[in-house]
Structure 1
Amino acid sequence: MIVYTVGTFDLLHVGHLALLQYCKSLGGSLAVGVASDRVVNSYKPNVPVIPLEQRMEMLKALSCVDIVIAYDELEYVSGCKEVNADIFVIGEDWGNKPHNLAVESYLKSAGKQIKQVSYNPRTSSTTIKKNVVEQTYNIRNFKMAVA
């Protein structure tokens, strides 16, 4: 059985790890699709901090991950077909956008499963980025106040 999930996986953190470990627990092999900068920029204002190749390298190093592929279009059917996914794991913010509905339709017609998971509340890449910016701002203000 092959489990497939997708994401940006920028600034790899414990939330990512919890998701990937959960996905691995569902089946024999875990395949992870990693969004290219172009894909991320199509739905978020900023591209990832970590380049695609490095994000993929970090994921490949995790013992729970068996396959890592990049995707350069905001669609998931081709990735599901490429890895021959039996289960596709999605996040709680899935929604009903055309690319989401297309993969749901494909999975249903192919007799495959889709599982939705909640995000780990402990952290997120966005939270980490905000903390870094805040700390940088605080250090800069402290140095100016001391000078």
Structure 2
Amino acid sequence: MGVTVRIGYAPGAYDLFHIGHLNILRHAKSRCDFLIAGVVSDEMLELTKGARPFIPLAERLEIVSHIDVVDRAVAEVVPDKVDTWRELRFDVLFKGDDWRGTPKGIRLEQDFAEHGVEIEYFPYTIHTSSTQLRRALTAATEGRSAAV
């Protein structure tokens, strides 16, 4: 009788790595046996969010791959997460609960239901987000260049 290993996938930009990222990865690892962190490529972030990350993909991959709860870090280079699943064959995909009930979250759930993949949501870290950090860095940079 074989042992079933539950493989989890936690995609994210992981730009300006902060406690919210660490919390998602810790929660994800507690819900699976083998955790793959999908680090979204610079090009995919520009396509989906309209902005390039501050930290380049190679550096974000290096950081995430050294988090003790991450068993494997991969570059996510295609826009459709089902295509990523076809390559990695994970059993559960983890997202922050800011996706729950949104059009993107509902579409994700529907797409993966066809393949028997669960979607699990974890609490979004409201007090720290990459968006807030990005705004603060942009404001600080703009303020510095205006003063020069």
Identify whether the pair has TM-score above 0.5, normalized to the shorter chain. Answer: yes
Identity, % of aligned positions: 29
Partner of 2:92: 87
Partner of 2:24: 19
Contact kept? 1:80, 1:88, Cα under 8 Å: no
Contact kept? 1:3, 1:30, Cα under 8 Å: yes
1:66–1:139 Cα change, 3 Å: same
SS in 2 for 1:22: helix
Measured in 1, the distance between the counterparts of 2:110 and 2:48 equals 22
Measured in 2, the distance between the counterparts of 1:42 and 1:138 equals 27
SS in 1 for 2:8: strand
Measured in 2, the distance between the counterparts of 1:86 and 1:22 equals 15
**For residues 30-45 of structure 1, what are the structure 2 equivalents within 5 Å?**
30-45=35-50
**For residues 1-147 of structure 1, what are the structure 2 equivalents within 5 Å?**
1-91=6-96, 92-93=98-99, 95-97=102-104, 101=107, 103-136=108-141
Ranges in structure 1 where 5+ consecutive residues have no aligned partner? none
Partner of 2:3: none
Deviation above 6 Å: which 4+ runs of structure 1? Answer: none
Contact kept? 1:77, 1:106, Cα under 8 Å: yes
- Quote the offset at 1:140 in angstroms: 6.4
Range that drifts further, 45-54 or 77-86? 77-86
Contact kept? 2:78, 2:84, Cα under 8 Å: no
Work out the number of aligned pairs and report it.
141
- Quote the offset at 1:22 in angstroms: 0.5
Measured in 2, the distance between the counterparts of 1:106 and 1:28 equals 23
Range that drifts further, 15-24 or 41-50? 41-50
TM-score normalised by structure 1 residue count: 0.82
SS in 2 for 1:123: coil
Q: Which amino acid aligns with 2:38?
A: G
1:19–1:46 Cα change, 3 Å: same
TM-score normalised by structure 2 residue count: 0.81
Range that drifts further, 16-25 or 43-52? 43-52
Ranges in structure 2 where 5+ consecutive residues have no aligned partner? 1-5
SS in 2 for 1:19: helix
Which digits, 9 at most, give the CA deviation of each residue in 1:28-67, with x for residues without a partner? Answer: 1110111111111112221101111110110001001011
